[in-house]
Amino acid sequence: MDSAAASTHAHAYNGVRTSSAPRALATEAVHAGRDDLARQGLHAPPIDLSTTYPSHDSRAEAARIDAFAATGADPQGPPVYGRLGNPTVARFETALARLEGTESAVAFASGMAALSAVLLARASLGLRHVVAVRPLYGCSDHLLTAGLLGSEVTWTDPAGIADALRPDTGLVMVETPANPTLAEVDLRAVAHACGSVPLLADNTFATPVLQRPAEHGARLVLHSATKYLGGHGDVLGGVVACDEEFAGRLRQIRFATGGVLHPLAGYLLLRGLSTLPVRVRAASATAAELARRLAADPRVARVHYPRLGGAMIAFEVHGDPHEVIAGVGLITPAVSLGSVDTLIQHPASISHRIVDADDRKGAGVSDRLLRLSVGLEDVEDLWRDLDGALEARMRPPRGAGR
């Protein structure tokens, strides 16, 4: 992707129209969703914590609610109620849509709440069937497989998508690079195979810094905003970037189900976007070097690192991966990813434990696989920690040889 072309048309936010000239991704990350602040005499975006908004004009308020009920469009005029929308969250949504190159974005309380809203939106039209490609994030896999929202899933490889479509197929879902194996799919080819069925691409690992799925035909772009968009391990959120028509339906689902993003979370996510390009590029450079060293290490059986690049590494070790987890000191042994500090976890035990063992292994998630989310530490410090953890794992067990 040419990250210099992050926007090619004019945008409006709170009545303020920005230039129609394209702006580089780094510039959009800093300014999108904030274009009106200087005109208001503000520098930092305000946090609107209101749950409700007073109005003496109940007729106009009723008209706004009717309009929202009909189309799901953002209510024109003053806000009405926190479940319909929040000004602080709207700033984050505007910014993320700009970075992904879509018309709109709709934010939710978590990435799983965002995916659930998409499934409910399609099911409400009688389109309950989903075609999906493994691997996906473990909870996404479970949500589809268990049919918790009334959906039915057909698992296939990318080449089998077209044949798996049915009249009631409402969605095709892929994740690329995939969690946790970092397998990649050709988004343009997949989108072509989908025909008129919307393609949902989980872009959590790549972020719009490395990949913008909408440019390759995806109608829906999903993020667990908890990860790289927030970037500091202190906020939960999810977001779907999409066209305005689909966004309207998602807003209606969010209003009905209540999976709203808290305004403070919206503020933190907007702040996280401002440093997203710098963080992703710096962590990616370190990850590439660590992947190179791991690939040359005889204690490591296999390394998975995407052609796209990025800050995620998966690697399989000879022997017991739990000993590596136990042996790290600087690296944080924890679930999640995308933070400024480096995290390591064992997918088969944690993030993908909820997936059936045979399905897990069939998707390439072996019991010896470790997932490393590279942060912003110095590469030599990280390698020293990994090297020590791998060395500790290679030592004979206590009492051996007695």
pLDDT tier at 10, thresholds 50, 70, 90? very low
Arithmetic mean of pLDDT over the chain: 92
Q: Position 78: which residue type?
A: P
Please say if 13 is a catalytic residue: no
The answer on pLDDT for 169 being more than 70 is yes
Q: Which of 11, 9, 7 is nearest to 36 (CA)?
A: 11
- What is the pLDDT, as a whole number, of residue 316? 96
Please indicate whether residue 139 or residue 399 has the higher confidence score (pLDDT). 139
User: Residue 371: enclosing H or E segment and its boundaries?
Assistant: strand 369-373
The fraction of the chain above a pLDDT of 90, given in percent, is 86
CA distances from 231 to 234, 236, 254, 351, 373 (A): 8, 10, 24, 19, 11
pLDDT tier at 16, thresholds 50, 70, 90? very low
The answer on pLDDT for 13 being more than 80 is no
Residue among 36, 48, 53, 83 flagged as catalytic: 83
- What is the pLDDT, as a whole number, of residue 363? 78
Rounded Cα distance, 368 and 134, in Å: 18
pLDDT tier at 217, thresholds 50, 70, 90? very high
Handedness of CA 380, 385, 389, 394 (dihedral sign): positive
Q: DSSP character for 154?
A: E
Please say if 297 is a catalytic residue: no
- What is the pLDDT, as a whole number, of residue 17? 44
- What is the pLDDT, as a whole number, of residue 128? 98
pLDDT tier at 397, thresholds 50, 70, 90? very low
Please say if 81 is a catalytic residue: no
86 neighbors 20 (Cβ within 8 angstroms) = no
Segment 54-110, tens digit of pLDDT: 999 999 999 999 999 999 998 888 899 999 999 999 999 999 999 999 999 999 999
Residue among 23, 34, 74, 137 flagged as catalytic: 137
313 neighbors 291 (Cβ within 8 angstroms) = yes
Segment 314-362, tens digit of pLDDT: 999 998 999 999 999 999 999 999 999 999 999 998 888 888 888 888 8
191 neighbors 221 (Cβ within 8 angstroms) = no
C-alpha torsion angle, residues 292, 298, 302, 307 (rounded to 10): 10
- What is the pLDDT, as a whole number, of residue 361? 86
User: Residue 321: enclosing H or E segment and its boundaries?
Assistant: helix 321-327
pLDDT tier at 8, thresholds 50, 70, 90? very low
Segment 265-277, tens digit of pLDDT: 999 999 999 999 9
Average pLDDT over residues 150-155: 97
Segment 172-213, tens digit of pLDDT: 999 999 999 999 999 999 999 999 999 999 999 999 999 999
Rounded Cα distance, 103 and 74, in Å: 13
Average pLDDT over residues 150-178: 98
Residue among 122, 212, 227, 393 flagged as catalytic: 227
Average pLDDT over residues 34-41: 96
Please say if 227 is a catalytic residue: yes
Q: Position 4: which residue type?
A: A
Q: 0.85 exceeded by the pTM?
A: yes
Handedness of CA 264, 266, 270, 273 (dihedral sign): positive
Handedness of CA 244, 75, 127, 352 (dihedral sign): positive
